[in-house]
């Protein structure tokens, strides 16, 4: 697969989002592990997770542990796989999502993620979502401390606006390597963050790039130009969508969520799909 850069590491241009394997509607573990193995077979070297990707209160880090198990059981070399996880978002177990951006909590969460992933240092650790009750600088300061302590190799943020991106990069001393924001044909309000990341040479990781777990299969019917380009190219609308994102800027690395081997195998083919300027213009206008 073609590669793109996070920090000074090259990763496959299409990553794998682990969330669908651990929350509502998740498959059995065997299928999830098969999905991760299929991604690795296809050249995926960026896997995105979070400690909050679980269902019940007593299984925090379910997705992290699942990914660690899949990597350990894979027959090939996984030394070049960058596992990105996140802290600061919580699931109490009643279906809700809550926030805790306090520095003490983030450091504790990082230590717990380290154990579940079974590594000496987390590849990429991201502050999951701003907590209105905690100054943003304090939360990012905790990520800086983890970076300085060697517990994480790279630092990122998620769900951030342009001001927060600049502030985080400043607090991290220019060491912010990634921003993970929602971006899809249905959700384009992160264009300013994408453009800022391109300007600053920071990786932009679109989450839910195909519209989310329940809507990804409907992408072509919801946005006709994506279906039309897909039909002309004899590929899936999902491939067209990911290729469209890759064409936005060299810093874009989509992380489509998947829980089936066939869907991630299809998605990675977008890395080799080059769309024409005319096609890109049509897709840009399809919002």
The catalytic residue positions are: 53
Residue 96 has which token pair? 């809700």
CA distances from 210 to 143, 192, 223 (A): 29, 19, 11
CB 154, CB 186: distance < 8 Å: no
- Structure token digits, residue 231: 């039909």
Q: Where are the alpha helices (DSSP H) in the chain?
A: 29-41, 62-73, 103-117, 136-148, 162-171, 191-200, 219-222, 224-233, 237-246, 261-268, 277-284
Q: Alpha helices, DSSP H only, in 160-275? A: 162-171, 191-200, 219-222, 224-233, 237-246, 261-268
Q: Which residue has 């064409």 as its token pair? A: 247
Angle between helices 261-268 and 29-41 (to 10 degrees): 20
Distance CA 87, CA 156 (A): 11
Specify the residue for token string 């990012």: 140
- Beta-carbon contacts of 9 under 8 Å, excluding residues fewer than 6 positions away, are 82, 154
Check: CB of residue 208 under 8 Å from CB of residue 182: yes
Rounded Cα distance, 210 and 3, in Å: 20
């Amino acid at each position: 697969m073609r590669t793109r850069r996070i920090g000074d590491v090259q990763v496959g241009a299409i990553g794998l989002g682990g969330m669908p394997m651990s929350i509502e509607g998740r498959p059995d573990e065997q299928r999830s592990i098969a999905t991760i193995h299929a991604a690795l077979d296809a050249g995926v070297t960026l896997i995105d997770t979070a400690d909050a990707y679980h269902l019940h209160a007593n299984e925090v880090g379910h997705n992290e542990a699942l990914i660690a198990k899949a990597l350990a059981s894979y027959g090939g070399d996984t030394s070049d796989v960058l596992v990105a996880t996140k802290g600061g978002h919580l699931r109490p177990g009643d279906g809700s999502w809550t926030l805790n951006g306090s520095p003490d909590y983030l450091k504790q969460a990082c230590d717990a993620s380290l154990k579940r992933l079974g590594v000496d240092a987390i590849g990429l650790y991201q502050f999951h979502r701003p907590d209105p009750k905690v100054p943003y600088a304090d939360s990012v300061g905790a990520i800086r401390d983890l970076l300085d302590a060697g517990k994480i190799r790279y630092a990122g943020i998620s769900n951030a606006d342009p001001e927060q991106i600049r502030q985080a990069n400043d607090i991290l001393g220019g060491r912010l390597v990634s921003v993970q924001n929602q971006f899809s044909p249905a959700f384009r309000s992160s264009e300013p963050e994408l453009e800022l990341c391109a300007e600053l040479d920071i990786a932009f990781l679109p989450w839910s790039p195909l519209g989310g777990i329940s809507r990804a299969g409907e992408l072509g019917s919801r946005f006709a130009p994506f279906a039309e380009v897909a039909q002309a190219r004899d590929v899936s609308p999902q491939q067209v969508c990911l290729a469209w994102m890759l064409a936005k800027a060299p810093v874009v690395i989509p992380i489509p969520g998947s829980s089936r081997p066939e869907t991630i195998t299809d998605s990675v083919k977008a890395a080799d799909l080059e769309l024409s300027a005319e096609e890109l213009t049509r897709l840009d206008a399809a919002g």
